Structure 1
Amino acid sequence: MRHIVFIVYPGFELLDMSGPASVFTGANRALTARGEPLCYGIELVSATGGPVASSSGVVVQTSGLDHLAGQTIDTLLIVGAERAPLLQAMRHPALRKTLPGQAGKVRRLGSVCTGAFILAALGLLDGHRVATHWDGCAPLAQAFPALNVDAQALYVEDKGCWTSAGVTTGIDMALAMVASDLNAAIAAEVAKRLVLYVRRPGHQSQFSPLLQAQAKADNPFADLIGWIHTHLDARLDVLTLSERVGLSARTFHRRFVAATGETPGRFVERARLDAARLLLTDGVSLKSVAAQVGLFPAARLNETFERRFGISPRLFRDLHAGL
């Protein structure tokens, strides 16, 4: 059994803990269904033990830090929080006294979301490449210059330290851990059980072009962008898109650029390439990827992908498939 410990504190973000924990328990469920022994045991730990309230008001029962003495811990994860409870945790005497010693004994040390600030404050991330919530990347880099903060990655594994970006990316990181511990098939089964749209690799940006554009665009383009996302294999030229929102081609082009900062053609290409990277990471054939993302035939996919990323889609798949 791999002992997974989550460090929580008053005001912690519940999903930072419950999301990854659901992945590990989901892996146990998948193993049980196969007649195989369980792999993970999960424990919630706080400075003093007892009930701890999350920021959403949900209270969890925890063991105290002293309970960890003498235990073999496989993975130690620090969850994140908003600024006030996070600062209190960073300054908590018991956490500052105990965590550095425990960190040196574990196979995997990590954080979810802004939990990286706690590890950084303890000097446990010096010299590492790390990820954290997009809103905390600049403050983390400024406060701890010994860190290499990757503002783009969903999660990062560097020399045994695992750090993830905002909130739900803890699920992606936990799935990567399961794939590493067991296999990609178990991780994929857990992702399916959790009804995830896709297993996201760590190198993917925190924001897809679709989400970025939806955040900036006014209606009707937010709905149009969602439609584009599910119809990447369709004809998505300016005329088709403008007719869908009831505008002339010229008016649509002008308003789309004003709302998203990109031409429709450039935006559609980015969305297609973003989807192509995810499919390639899952090991999908080039021909199938080209058809699914609307860059068919494969020669068109190859040309567009290499022009954008400086690497062929085949080589990208070979490097990243299964990660």
Structure 2
Amino acid sequence: MSKLRQIALIAFDGFQILDITGPASVFSAANDALGKPYYQVVTVSAKGGLVSSHSGISVQSQSYQSSKLVSIDTLLIAGGSADGLEALSRNEPFMKWIKQTVQGTRRYGSVCTGAFVLGHLGLLKKKKVATHWSSCEKLATLYPDAEVDANALFVNQGKLWTSAGVTTGIDMSLEMVAQDLGTEIANIIAKRLVLYVKRPGYQSQFSPLLKAQENAVPKFLKLVEWLGKHLDQNIDIPRMAEQVAMSERTFYRKFTQCFGETPRNYVEKLRLDNVRILLSSKAPLKQIALLNGYSTAAQLTKSFERQFGISPALFRKMHCT
């Protein structure tokens, strides 16, 4: 039997439970999809034994000094509470082991605020990285040599992988599996885990819909949901105002106050956000344009370049091949 690829997930008291169980579920699901063992997932901590997560659920772990840890293929550090991360960073023997170990791994990285541990170890210098949106400013301040991408779900820079946190650790792990075993296996895993979509790393942490959920009143939330289902149609002020039973003038004023931008600009952002996702498919640009309310591919290209500073064709070549 060929040698298993060992996945070491670093845990500590106060870790975020999904930062461990999410990636673990993906790699174990890969074994199921293949019908044979390929990955061996091991949770690693300073002392071994039970480690308590931030939610109070404990997981069993191996000490980093365990003889069972041999030839680690992938090492990922979970995020968690500020106190837990600080205690981990103060554990010099464990930190030394992590830094030495990653030199020999095929890849290493972090989920969520685990990026702070990598920064503490000097492993983020001159690297583009991701972490949870609420911690981006702090990470950039503490480690100015790193380029913190506040939008990305995950970032891959050579051996280094970092993700935005929580469920994005699943997205990142799926991409790792896709690189190891192909997209077909990754898609099988996504289906088995009942994931809505295998999200690419360049997709923003905050889609226009998520921003709406943070700021909007219930009436406008329903409107945003309606907009998402009708992006291929002509959407103007009268039609949107009708959906929320307001006069056009009142609708325009209240919508702009709620979202900080005009209805027209918001709809365009919704469309272009959806375009970025569809560019990961093999659908022709003309079809993608029509699905998002653009009459021609040229019209879509003009809007896309204005918003992102890059053509859809080049974006697809850079991110989706």
Alignment partner, residue 168 of structure 2: 169
Question: What is the alpha-carbon distance in structure 2 between the residues aligned to residue 276 and residue 211 of structure 1?
Answer: 17
Taking the TM superposition and a 5 Å limit, the aligned residue runs for 1:44-63 are: 44-63=43-62
Per the alignment, residue 79 of structure 1 pairs with: 78
Give the CA deviation at 1:112: 0.2
Q: 1:68 to 1:267 in 2, by over 3 A?
A: farther
Structure 2 CA distance for partners of 1:246 and 1:19, relative to 1, 3 Å: same
Q: Does 1:3 align with 2:1?
A: no
Aligned to 1:15: 18
Is residue 211 from structure 1 mapped to residue 238 from structure 2 by the alignment?
no
Amino acid across the alignment from 2:212: A
Q: Distance in 2 between matches of 1:244 and 1:13?
A: 40
Q: Percent identity?
A: 49
Describe the shift of the 1:318–1:128 C-alpha distance in structure 2 as closer, same or farther (beyond 3 A). Answer: closer
Q: Which residue of 2 aligns with 1:31?
A: 34
Please give the secondary structure, in 2, of the residue aligned with 1:152. coil
Distance 1:70 1:319 in 2: 37
Distance 2:295 2:194 in 1: 29
Which residue type is aligned with residue 214 of structure 2? A
Partner-residue secondary structure (3-state), 1:189: helix
Aligned-pair CA distance for 1:114? 0.1
Deviation at 1:69, TM superposition (A): 7.2
* Counterpart residue type for residue 118 of structure 1: V
Question: How far apart, in 1, do the equivalents of 2:272 and 2:41 lie?
Answer: 38
- Provide the secondary structure at the position in 1 that maps to 2:62: strand
Report the Cα offset of residue 266 of structure 1: 0.7
Q: Deviations over 1:210-260 (max 9, x none)?
A: 211221122211222122223322332211111111101111111000000
- Once residues 52 and 70 of structure 1 are traced to their aligned partners in structure 2, the CA distance between those partners, rounded to angstroms, is 18
Rounded Cα–Cα distance in structure 2 between residues aligned with 1:302 and 1:189: 33
Instruction: Write out aligned runs for 1:1-323 (5 A).
Output: 1-32=4-35, 37-67=36-66, 71-322=70-321
**SS at 2:20 equivalent:** helix
- Partner of 2:65, secondary structure, is helix
The number of equivalent residue pairs is 318
Aligned partners of 1:125 and 1:42: how far apart in 2?
A: 25
Contact 1:214/1:221, CA 8 A, preserved across alignment: no
CA shift digits 1:141-164 (9 cap, x unpaired) = 111222222222111111311011
Residues 23 and 169, structure 2, Cα contact 8 Å, conserved in 1: yes
SS at match of 2:189: helix
- The residue type paired with residue 191 of structure 1 is A
Q: Is the 8 A contact 1:283 1:317 kept in 2?
A: no
Which range moves more in the overlay, 178-187 or 108-117? 178-187
Q: Distance in 1 between matches of 2:140 and 2:301?
A: 36
Secondary structure of the residue aligned to 1:256 is helix
Structure 2 CA distance for partners of 1:130 and 1:315, relative to 1, 3 Å: closer
Asked if structure 2 preserves the Cα contact closer than 8 Å seen for 1:23 and 1:190, the reply is: yes
User: What is the TM-score when the length of structure 1 is the normalising length?
Assistant: 0.93
Conserved? CA contact 2:202–2:319, under 8 Å? no
Cα distance between partner residues in 1 of 2:64 and 2:96: 10
Code of the aligned partner of 1:8: A
Gaps of 5+ in 1: none
Distance of aligned partners of 1:124 and 1:315 in 2 relative to their CA distance in 1, 3 Å threshold = closer
- Identify if the C-alpha distance between structure 1 residues 235 and 195 changes in structure 2 by more than 3 Å, giving closer, same or farther: farther
In structure 2, C-alpha distance between the alignment counterparts of 1:137 and 1:243, rounded to whole Å: 39
